[in-house]
Every structure is written in structure tokens, then in C-alpha cells.
Amino acid sequence: MMRGLERAGALAVEVGVPFSDPIADGPEIQRSSEWALRQGVGPAESLELVRRFRVEGKLPVVLMTYANPVLRLGVPEFAGRARAAGVDGVLITDLPPDEAPETWSALDREGLDTILLVAPTTAPERVPRLVERCRGFVYCVARTGVTGRGEGYAGSIGERVAELRRHTPLPIAIGFGISTPDKVRELKGVADALVVGAAFMRAVSEDPARGAVERVIDLAGRMREALK
């Protein structure tokens, strides 16, 4: 699937580390995490997946995780193994930049980009602190709530991206609720990238044993086409 996304023209691929309490994620990613955990998949197995992809794959890889799996493995161990596996960036969803400075330092020492979320409810005075900690790109959350199709407050995404651009020269990606080519067309030109996750999990869950890769790559291709 990662190789297929690379061929489809994705800018990067995000690999989620399965976690028992994914508080930012909706039902699709929750179910996928539960399934993966039952198969014994954790941080080590996620890093091994990236390492195998890196044998031939050149696409940048961002590891998306929560703080607890990182702490369970050990912060220096996690950072070192992530770099050795070929990870380019790390998004720790529930770790604010003001907390656990040793974690951020360990990631910096390994040269791993750190990506943070900026939400519709983020206070304006908080934005500079968040983007200051960002490396690689800034993740702009499209709406409140969890990942997937759920509704939530969105406000003006265009105004929020414009405000972020006043604080950082980094590329800005929009995520949460981007699930169809029509939604992609709505956001065309607003930011530098769009993040898709739950929609791919739905495509997999239709029949995980048959055609899952093809369905994901087909959806990715149709979304790329919507950007033209």
C-alpha cells in the first residue's frame, strides 16, 4: 500500500502506531488500531514496516503516535530506532510542546521532524508556540472532533491557513474529515497538502483480505485527480 501511494504521487505517507486509546481518532481508525493490537502490532512492528519500505521506497514517512507507546518503548530508544528505520518525521498527537522537553530533545538529536496539530479552537496567542516547534510542515485540523466523517466546528479554514502563514514559512497540511474527491476539490489551493486517513481505513475494512490495496490506491488516485 505504501509503495502504491508513492506511485500514485503522494507527497508523504503517515504510518499510525496502533494504540488502545486513540482519543483523536474516530471509529475507523479506532477499529484498525484494535485489530492491529490483537495481531501484536506495536511501535517496534510499525518501525519494522517503515524499514522494509525503505529498502526501495523514497517517499517521506511520518510516524503518527500518541505519547504512551513512545514512553513504553523509551524515548531515546524510540527516537534512535525511528531514525534507523528511515522515519522522516514524528507526530505525537497528545504531547504539547510545553511538556516532556526530553522527548522533543531526543527527536531533535536524531534529526526527526516534529509535526504538531493546530485546531480550530487553538487560541491565537498559542499559535506561535505551536508552529515554533514544528519541523517539516504544520498540521492544520479542519474541524473539531475526531478523524473520519463526523461533524464538528470548522470555522474559516482559509482564514486559519492564512494566519498560520503569517507565523511560519513551513508547508501547511489540512486533515480531519477529508474523505472524498469532492471534499478535496473544496480545499484545492487552500493549503500545500491534504491528509487522508479514515477514508483509507474504510476502503480496507470493506474486505481486508481481498482488494484492500487496490481500493486504497484507487481512492488516492481519484483524490489526486480532483486536485488537477
Catalytic residue numbers?
14, 25
CB–CB of 139/115 below 8 Å?
Answer: yes
Which residue do the cell numbers 519494522 mark?
48
DSSP structure class, residue 117: E
CA-to-CA dists, residue 124 to 54, 160, 226, angstroms: 39, 10, 32
User: Quick one: how far is CA 90 from the chain centroid?
Assistant: 9
Q: What SS3 state is found at 113?
A: strand
CA-to-CA dists, residue 12 to 61, 143, 189, 202, angstroms: 6, 22, 18, 20
- H/E stretch holding 64 reads strand 61-65
User: Quick one: how far is CA 105 from the chain centroid?
Assistant: 21
